[in-house]
Amino acid sequence: MDALTEILRSLHLTGAVFLEAEFTAPWCVTAQVGPEDCGPYMPMPASVIAYHYVLEGTVHLELPGEPSVALGPGQLMVFPRNDCHVLASHPGLEPVSADDLIEPAGADGRARIRYGGGGALTRLFCGFLGGEAGSNPLLGNLPPVITLDLAGGRKRTWIEGSIQYAVEELARAGPAAGHSLTRLAELLFGESVREFVSGLPDGDTGWLPGLRDRHVGRALALLHGRPDHDWTLDELAHDVGLSRSALAERFVRHMGQSPMRYLSRHRLADAASRLTRGGQSIAQIAGAAGYESEAAFSRAFKRLHGCSPAAFREARRSG
């Protein structure tokens, strides 16, 4: 069982939006998709993962407080928490909002951006992946942007062909293409995260390096894969292949908390996702989170999220 795969599933990814962008130098835009922008294509997501893939030309990426980074053809930028960022033909230009540049879909059904001063051409595919889980340790521990170089040979050909197919599917089938677009976007996101985690220095501790630890990663996969199970430390240690004390020591070293404490907090985060999605009563969600009474669940939920489950659900509905 792969820990990252199980944790990606816990994000409950719901859909993806693709558009094509053509810029001619000089140009500079700010980019940040809002959940409401995804409305025509998917239920309003609790979280958004944004990414851009460079087809042609050069893009200068700027994030607040960070130096500009130049990216070329075959390079992928992934923004796990959808942080606002600037894309430009070169640094130091005054940006305009990319939202104001999106053209309504034409006869071919594709959304586009075409903007710039008429100079050198830069072409991008842009994707936005929506998720129902508003809080997830994977998204919380990743950096604001991950860049992945896919310029080498067959991998780039496959990625570009797959994205082109996704754009065509969106144009042809509209929202009906959601499932295949979600799978493609999830694959690209997963590939970038795997590459980032594999490049972390040996000996690092923390949530992301914990994924790479054979025993901690296995424990995370089990806990995220079966959060409703009545886990005990004995059973978890047996399934991981360590003693209770060895697993506890190893898990605390990476995660900063015991396996059972981690499970409790994960269940409450999962409960928030279930409340957002609807379809279950608060009593059912409390039982799935391991609480024998709705009152005990409500107290624990309020300590973590700052409001009662009922108030949390109502806020998500009205939001």
Let me know: does 171 contact 109? Beta carbons within 8 Å: yes
Pick the CATH number of 3-198 from 1.10.260.40, 3.30.950.10, 3.20.130.10, 2.60.120.280: 2.60.120.280
- Token readout for 231 is 């886990």
CA distances from 102 to 21, 43, 200 (A): 9, 20, 37
For the chain, the domains span: 3-198, 207-318
pLDDT at 258: 95
105-112 contacts at long range (C-beta below 8 A, 24 or more positions apart): 105/171, 108/171, 109/170, 109/171, 109/172, 109/174, 110/19, 110/20, 110/167, 110/170, 110/171, 111/17, 111/18, 111/19, 111/20, 112/19, 112/20, 112/21, 112/22
Nearest-angstrom CA–CA distance, 121 and 113: 13
- According to DSSP H, which parts of 11-152 are helical? 137-141
pLDDT at 105: 72
Nearest-angstrom CA–CA distance, 51 and 58: 16
pLDDT at 79: 94
pTM beyond 0.85, yes or no: no
Nearest-angstrom CA–CA distance, 304 and 298: 10
Residue 88 has phi, psi (to 5 degrees) of -155, 160
Pick the CATH number of 207-318 from 3.30.70.20, 3.40.50.12160, 1.10.10.60, 3.40.50.261: 1.10.10.60
pLDDT at 40: 63
Residue with tokens 């409401």: 36
Residues of the chain below pLDDT 50: 1
pLDDT at 1: 46
Closest CA to 126 of 31, 46, 44: 31
Closest CA to 276 of 315, 304, 313: 313
**Within a 10 A sphere around the Cβ of 5, how many other Cβ atoms?**
14
Let me know: does 41 contact 134? Beta carbons within 8 Å: no
Kindly write down the DSSP assignment for every residue of 24-46, as one continuous string: ESS-EEEE---GGGGTTTSSPPS
Nearest-angstrom CA–CA distance, 268 and 301: 6
Closest CA to 224 of 18, 69, 1, 10: 10
